[in-house]
Amino acid sequence: MIGLAPDIAVIGAGTMGAGIAQLALEHGHAVRLLDVDAAATQRASDAIRERLSRRLARQGLSGAQFEATLATMLGRLDLGSGPDDAAGADVVIEAIVEDLATKQTLFARLDDVCRADTILATNTSALSIGAIAAAARAHPERVVGLHFFNPAPVMRLVEVVAGAATALAVVEAAAGLVEGWKRSPIRCADRPGFVVNRVNRPFTIQALRAIEAGESTISAIDAAIRDLGFPLGPFELMDLAGIDVNLAAATGVWEGFDRAPRFRPSPIQAALVARGRLGRKSGEGFYRYAADGVRLGPGAEFDAPTTGPAATGTAAAAATAERIRLAIANEAFKALDERLVGDEATIDLALTLGASHPEGPFAWARGRSLPAVVAGLEALAPTEPDAFMPADGLRAAVAEASRAGNRPAIDLRSA
């Protein structure tokens, strides 16, 4: 369907679009980076040049070799303004605003202007691939989800998502393309949030629930999570990714699951976004930042709990961290029950590569012991049944382990 080095068009010159374009350039593709905002494409082009320069320098290139390699890569980058400039591309990857109607309008136009064999991929993190593909009325079978993680030139995971109409050949070609970019593609069903944004939702939601209840502070919770081997705590992560971005993903998953209580976005996030406090990119979110990005400390309202018990110590934060791990493990079992993917290993890989977990939720749960996980969930279930009532598959795994443990040993001497 596509050649060894297909021409790539990337629509959307924001952080993700620029990162995807850079990744394609690094692996030998001609790339057209398109955005209706000409200033955005120029900023993206400048950022790509800077990042490529740093990467080549880290590889030990210098002098004429450095200049020639950089010039070759940048010589394959072309800038454009809109979907019509994607005509002729072999693969189009959309990385625009996370809004279904906007994406549908774009894909309807791409369906008109692109060749029938062009793969049309969306980088959506939570929206339905089938709903986006429906806008490509002539050829919905060539629409596929390719969900990269930020920063795309660094993060190894790509979720490859087939809608109901997506052709198997398109899925195979898309997975092969990103595998050629030295990424790890995982295939998952077209469900809200896919794997990472669905299974890892409790990482931020349960932390926010604790702040809503005045049970701890953001600094204490972040420290407790880092103590478990995570590189960032939930509030640090939201500030880094953008609180608006996290809220959009949370809202998409919540709506996709018919507003299930366990996915309810936090009003704290909504209030911060309404005030323009989006995290590092705006200079303030949960934490405050200097002009050079150095963190100065928590926002004034997050210095200490404002309601509930004044539980600012490590014990309360550790309890929140435990609740987060239990909720993630339970969500992983629910996802497997729903056949989101085929096995535990795929979800564990997704969470370690895509969300930087020190170990996947199944590995963590089995290391803890499944009966202990069930007991921990049951203790929390009265507070939030939708999040903590043990998944059917988890209970079944405990029962199977119990049956296996009770089977009599085979006496080989009498065989």
pLDDT tens per residue across span 150-202: 899 999 999 999 999 999 999 999 999 999 999 999 999 999 999 999 999 99
Angle at 358 between CA 217 and CA 363, to 5 degrees: 115
* pLDDT for residue 5: 80
DSSP string, 158-193: EEEEE-TT--HHHHHHHHHHHHHTT-EEEEE-S-TT
- Smallest CA-to-CA distance from 10 within 2, 29, 28 is with 29
Q: What is the pLDDT of residue 285?
A: 97
Mean pLDDT of 257-283: 96
Fold match flag (8-188 vs 198-399) = no
Note the pLDDT of residue 126. Answer: 87
Q: Which element (helix H / strand E) includes 373?
A: helix 370-380
Q: Which residues pair with 188 in a beta bridge?
A: 161
With cut-offs at 50, 70 and 90, classify the pLDDT of residue 415.
Answer: very low
Mean pLDDT of 359-370: 97
Is the confidence at residue 1, as pLDDT, over 70?
A: no
Q: How far apart are CA 64 and CA 197, in angstroms?
A: 44
The rounded percent of the chain whose pLDDT value lies above 70 is: 94
Question: Where do the domains of the chain lie?
Answer: 8-188, 198-399
Is residue 413's pLDDT more than 50?
no
Alpha-carbon span 16 to 335, nearest angstrom:
26
Other C-beta atoms closer than 10 Å to the C-beta of 384 total 17
Per residue in 216-236, pLDDT (tens digit) is 999 999 999 999 999 999 999
Q: 37: phi > 0 → left, psi -120 to 50 → alpha, else beta; which?
A: beta
Predicted local confidence at residue 306, as pLDDT: 45
The pLDDT of residue 406 is 64
411 pLDDT band, cuts 50/70/90, is low
Catalytic positions, please?
125, 147, 159, 197
DSSP state of 389: S
Q: If you average pLDDT over residues 300-322, what whole number do you get?
A: 73
Q: What is the rounded average pLDDT of the residues 287-308? A: 82
Q: pLDDT tens, 123-147?
A: 999 899 999 999 999 999 999 999 9
Residue 258 has pLDDT above 50, yes or no: yes
37 CB contacts (<8 Å, ≥6 apart)?
A: 13
Six token digits for residue 326: 């239990």
Per the CB < 8 A criterion, the answer to whether 278 and 285 are in contact is yes
Q: What is the pLDDT of residue 3?
A: 63
Condensed to tens digits (0 to 9), the pLDDT of residues 69-84 reads 999 999 999 999 989 9
Q: Counting runs of H as helices and runs of E as strands, what totals does the chain give?
A: 18, 10
Residues in the chain: 415
Helix (H, G, I), strand (E, B) or coil at 317: helix
Report which residue type is found at 238.
Answer: M
CATH topology of domain 198-399: N-(1-d-carboxylethyl)-l-norvaline Dehydrogenase; domain 2 (1.10.1040)
- Cβ atoms of residues 216 and 322 within 8 Å: no
412 pLDDT tier (thresholds 50, 70, 90): very low
User: Residue 17 contacts by C-beta under 8 Å, 6 or more apart in sequence?
Assistant: 10, 11, 33, 35, 44, 93, 95, 96, 123
Token duo for residue 276: 């323009």
Mean pLDDT over the full length of the chain: 93
Residue type (1 letter), 295:
R
Q: Under the phi-then-psi rule, with left for phi > 0, alpha for psi from -120 to 50, and beta for the rest, what region is 215?
A: alpha
CATH number of 8-188: 3.40.50.720
Whole-prediction pTM value? Answer: 0.90
pLDDT given at position 300 = 85
Question: CA 163 to CA 120: how far, in whole Å?
Answer: 12
Is it true that the peptide bond before 267 is cis, omega within 30 degrees of 0? Answer: no
CA separation for the pair 291, 296 (Å, rounded)? 10
d(CA 298, CA 236): 10
User: Stretch 306-327: mean pLDDT, rounded?
Assistant: 78
Q: Residues 221, 316: contact at Cβ < 8 Å? A: no
- CB-based contact 120:92 (threshold 8 Å): yes
Residues 165 and 349: their CA atoms lie apart, in Å, by 27
